[in-house]
């Protein structure tokens, strides 16, 4: 059973997420009145704002929420598995693999293959890291971390090579995707299903994950099947990151800052931390994407720029607070 004190926190985060999505639907280069937003969501096709809200802003807002939630959940899982509060979803080189796949598709001029190529690149990176990190029939946190760092460096070199040989006309679009951009994210509903699926698969393992965070020996003593639980959580974190990167590119700091901040409020119980991180990460990325659309409107900024600008001082403050 969850503590009674956790429900107000989850309710507050759910409310913040709803407000963030509502703001994303109303605010932009063309502002839409709240009443018009409601009519558009209710299906009033005769309202001129209906096309803007339903076909442009709503899919992007839902995709932003799902990507933020996926990155935050993946970050929370990685921090448990590696027992390191500085771990993030890209620690296994998933972002680099996805970026290489997507940039290769863009360089080939086949825009329709960007999404499947990014997903394939992330999966290839996962297979490489887990294959190289395997030692004596098992994966250790240290080997996974070190292997992920090395593989990520290799992907980074390939990314630089692709950018160096790309025609000037394609470099801008490739850089936007690499930094993190939601302008092409139109599959909001599918992204939400992916987030829901990751949470539904992770929550039954949340109690074991909480014990695993105390150390493998302690968890095994308390009856946790450490190897199978760790492998399942690694797979979920990898899948969540792959989906997020496929949809929005390399959006940094959400998976690092959000779980760390939420943990300071709700503690390390993964039954609370995972859904709370999903809500907080989704709300944060929706707000960041809304700012990216409006701060220099009608031009748009890559959302990864804003998450990095906000994430660096926020994380330094969190470190100072946790050390105090």
Q: What is the pTM of this model?
A: 0.89
The rounded distance, in Å, linking the Cα atoms of 48 and 31 is: 12
Q: What is the pLDDT of residue 197?
A: 95
User: What residues contact residue 3 under an 8 Å CB cut-off, 6+ apart?
Assistant: 272
Query: Angle, to 10 degrees, between the axis of helix 34-41 and the axis of helix 6-26?
Result: 100
Q: What is the pLDDT of residue 290?
A: 93
The rounded distance, in Å, linking the Cα atoms of 321 and 324 is: 5
Query: For every residue of 87-113, which 3-state class applies, written as one string?
Result: CCCCCCCHHHHHHHHHHHHHHCCCHHH
Q: What is the pLDDT of residue 55?
A: 82
The rounded distance, in Å, linking the Cα atoms of 165 and 163 is: 6
Q: What is the residue-level pLDDT of the chain in tens, covering all 324 positions?
A: 556 567 888 999 999 999 999 999 988 877 888 888 888 887 776 677 777 888 888 899 999 999 999 999 999 998 888 887 777 887 778 888 888 888 888 888 887 787 788 888 888 888 888 788 776 556 667 787 888 889 989 999 999 999 999 888 888 878 877 888 888 777 778 889 999 999 999 999 999 998 888 888 888 888 888 888 888 888 888 888 888 888 888 888 899 899 988 998 888 889 999 999 999 999 999 999 999 888 887 778 888 888 988 888 887 887 777 665
CA distances from 153 to 99, 203, 230, 308, 318 (A): 13, 32, 24, 20, 27
Neighbours of 62 (CB within 10 A): 23
Q: What is the pLDDT of residue 135?
A: 62
CB 62 within 8 A of CB 191: yes
CB 106 within 8 A of CB 174: yes
Neighbours of 116 (CB within 10 A): 13
Radius of gyration of the chain, Cα coordinates, nearest whole angstrom: 20
Q: What is the pLDDT of residue 1?
A: 52
Neighbours of 212 (CB within 10 A): 23
């Amino acid at each position: 059973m969850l503590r009674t004190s956790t429900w107000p926190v989850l309710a507050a985060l759910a409310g913040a997420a709803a407000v963030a999505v509502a703001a994303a639907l109303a605010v932009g280069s063309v502002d839409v009145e709240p009443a018009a937003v409601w009519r558009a969501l209710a299906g009033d096709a005769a309202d001129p704002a209906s096309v803007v809200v339903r076909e442009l802003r709503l899919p992007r807002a839902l995709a932003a929420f799902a990507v933020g939630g996926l990155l935050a959940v993946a970050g929370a899982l990685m921090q448990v598995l590696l027992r390191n509060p500085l771990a993030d979803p890209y620690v296994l080189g998933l972002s680099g693999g996805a970026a290489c796949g997507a940039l290769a598709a863009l360089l080939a001029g086949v825009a329709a293959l960007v999404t499947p190529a990014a997903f394939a690149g992330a999966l290839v990176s996962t297979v490489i890291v887990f294959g190289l990190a395997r030692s004596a029939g098992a994966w250790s946190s240290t080997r996974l971390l070190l292997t992920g760092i090395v593989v990520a460096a290799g992907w980074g070199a390939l990314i630089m090579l692709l950018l160096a040989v790309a025609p000037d006309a394609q470099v801008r679009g490739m850089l936007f995707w690499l930094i993190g951009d939601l302008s092409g994210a139109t599959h909001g509903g599918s992204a939400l299903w992916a987030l829901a699926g990751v949470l539904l698969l992770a929550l039954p393992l949340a109690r074991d994950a909480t014990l695993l965070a105390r150390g493998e020996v302690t968890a095994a003593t308390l009856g946790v099947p450490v190897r199978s639980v760790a492998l399942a959580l690694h797979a979920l974190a990898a899948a969540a990151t792959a989906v997020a990167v496929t949809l929005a590119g390399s959006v940094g700091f959400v998976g690092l800052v959000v779980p760390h901040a939420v943990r300071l409020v709700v503690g390390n119980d993964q039954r609370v931390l995972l859904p709370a991180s999903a809500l907080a990460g989704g709300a944060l990325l929706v707000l960041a994407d809304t700012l990216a659309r409006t701060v220099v409107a009608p031009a748009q900024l890559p959302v990864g720029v804003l998450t990095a600008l906000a994430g660096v001082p926020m994380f330094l403050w969190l470190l100072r607070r946790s050390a105090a």
